[in-house]
Copies of this chain bind each other. A is one copy, B any other.
Amino acid sequence: MTTDLPVITDVRLTPILIADPPLLNLSGVHQPYTPRLIVELVTDGGIVGLGETYGDSAYLTRAHELARELVGLPVSAINTIGGLGRAESTLIDATPAASGLRGALTTDKIRLSVVSAFEVAAFDALGKHLGVPVHTLLGGKVRDRVEYSGYLFYKWAEHPDGDVPADPWGAALDPDGIVALARKFLVHGGFRSFKLKGGVFAPDEEIAAIKALAQAFPGAPLRLDPNGGWSLPTALRVAEELTGIVEYLEDPTATVEDMAEVHRRSGIPLATNMIVTSLAEVKPTFDLNAVQIVLSDHHFWGGLQATRDLAATCRAYGKGLSMHSNTHLGISLAAMTHVAATVPNLAYACDTHYPWQSEDIITDRFTFTAGALDVPDLPGLGVNLNHDTLARLHERWTTMPAMRERDDTAALRRAEARIHASRSEHNWTTAP
């Protein structure tokens, strides 16, 4: 006979603020705290499923709206949850950088990022109920370990904001600093490949940093990602300098047309988490061969099944697949690791911000060894919530309204006002 499957009776949404180091990117600098939303699907059988997503107010509002529709559904209704609230999508912000480094922002992308956390939480609850890991519910792992890259950022030694948490990583503002940071990542988790977040300093400086990494770590796969911040001439110049040195350039330019032109003229493989972040963006981008590698992100695509769907589309079109990361905690890292373990064509190390996060709301933090994580084999995601930490980080959220929206640009403006720093040019304005 059929097991009665748990039914969702309540959805707890807990916005939190987590400490974040002063990491630099095209838009500015990470604020001392960044918002995340922790989702708990409570079921009639007492099982609670966990999910995690963006915590900015637009996401939080949408989560509260959609949470009402979850109540009464069985946790097995994964396909239904992915479609909750689907409607005509409207453009919110066409500027990639301003909309959080994820390409143009639409109402449907916000919806998908919300349902991704619900879907992950449903998978977690279903796995716990059935006594199987989430990867079993995705067809079973095809690898026992998932490789991650060491995600390097230019960074300041400390936030200029005053009384905020310090971090142990120190400053990294030139090639030597980036190599030193990579060595710390090697000690920290044995990372064997490195990604540098670029778009911060002049391209020549970033090229020099990548070349310094190549010299310091011969044979290590390397990537450079300026979040679409370069002009076409700049991107072509960087491509010329780094062909054969990076495994791919990530979003060197911001438009489909310029990306296609960069690849056509340079031949360098291009990856993206900005011009292909939703189904509607697949065909126009693939048709122009504007990318060769798509960076999946279950938060962007609407969950773990949607991530597998993207992987299938990439297989059909001969596109490579890797995985994007934004600031996240252990629930999302578990979800990323489960789905990554089940996708046959994930041929690159995944990105993760996780080593930068000093705080987590799970009881046992993940530890990287040899640049990889063991795929959890416990029921569900295999992680548990630390309710005390959750309460403390939520309390921080209630007391710091100014930090509730991630805004790297605002943080930089504040910093500049205080420290009178001036930033380098990102681009040559004419062809070099």
Q: A residues touching B (Cβ–Cβ < 8 Å)?
A: 1-3, 5, 74, 76-80, 82-83, 126, 130-133, 136-142, 279, 282-283, 287, 305, 308-310, 312-313, 315-318, 342, 344, 377-379
Given contacts A312-B309, A312-B313, A313-B316, contact A142 B379 (CB under 8 A): no
Q: Are A5 and B312 in contact, CB atoms less than 8 angstroms apart?
A: no
Residues of the B chain whose Cβ atoms lie less than 8 Å from the Cβ of A137: 137
Q: Are A140 and B316 in contact, CB atoms less than 8 angstroms apart?
A: no
Number of copies: 2
Q: Are B313 and A76 in contact, CB atoms less than 8 angstroms apart?
A: no
Chain B residue nearest to A342 in the complex (CB): B79
* A325 smallest CB distance to B (angstroms): 22
Q: Are B315 and A79 in contact, CB atoms less than 8 angstroms apart?
A: no
Residues of the B chain whose Cβ atoms lie less than 8 Å from the Cβ of A342: 79
Residues of the B chain whose Cβ atoms lie less than 8 Å from the Cβ of A82: 139
Q: Are B317 and A131 in contact, CB atoms less than 8 angstroms apart?
A: no
Q: How far is the CA of A268 from the CA of B61 in the complex (A)?
A: 44
Given contacts A74-B140, A139-B305, contact A344 B133 (CB under 8 A): no
Residues of the B chain whose Cβ atoms lie less than 8 Å from the Cβ of A80: 140, 142
- Shortest Cβ-Cβ A-B pairs, 8 listed: A309-B312, A3-B131, A78-B139, A79-B139, A282-B316, A77-B140, A313-B316, A76-B136
Q: Are B5 and A132 in contact, CB atoms less than 8 angstroms apart?
A: yes
Chain B residue nearest to A380 in the complex (CB): B2
Q: Are A132 and B83 in contact, CB atoms less than 8 angstroms apart?
A: no
Given contacts A83-B344, A140-B74, A140-B78, contact A279 B133 (CB under 8 A): no
Q: Are A132 and B313 in contact, CB atoms less than 8 angstroms apart?
A: no
Q: Are B309 and A79 in contact, CB atoms less than 8 angstroms apart?
A: no
Can you identify 20 A-B contacts, CB atoms within 8 angstroms?
A: A1-B378, A2-B131, A2-B132, A3-B130, A3-B132, A78-B140, A79-B142, A79-B344, A83-B142, A83-B344, A130-B132, A139-B305, A279-B316, A282-B316, A282-B317, A283-B316, A308-B309, A309-B309, A309-B315, A313-B313
A1-B379, A287-B287, A309-B312 given; name 12 further pairs at CB < 8 Å.
A2-B133, A2-B378, A3-B130, A3-B132, A5-B132, A74-B140, A76-B140, A79-B139, A126-B136, A283-B318, A309-B309, A310-B312
Q: How far is the CA of A342 from the CA of B5 in the complex (A)?
A: 17
Chain B residue nearest to A75 in the complex (CB): B140
Q: How far is the CA of A54 from the CA of B141 in the complex (A)?
A: 28
Q: How far is the CA of A126 from the CA of B131 in the complex (A)?
A: 12
Chain B residue nearest to A73 in the complex (CB): B140
* A314 smallest CB distance to B (angstroms): 9
Residues of the B chain whose Cβ atoms lie less than 8 Å from the Cβ of A283: 316-318
Q: Are B140 and A79 in contact, CB atoms less than 8 angstroms apart?
A: yes
Q: How far is the CA of A316 from the CA of B314 in the complex (A)?
A: 10
Q: Are B309 and A136 in contact, CB atoms less than 8 angstroms apart?
A: no
Residues of the B chain whose Cβ atoms lie less than 8 Å from the Cβ of A77: 140
* A283 smallest CB distance to B (angstroms): 6
Q: How far is the CA of A275 from the CA of B74 in the complex (A)?
A: 39
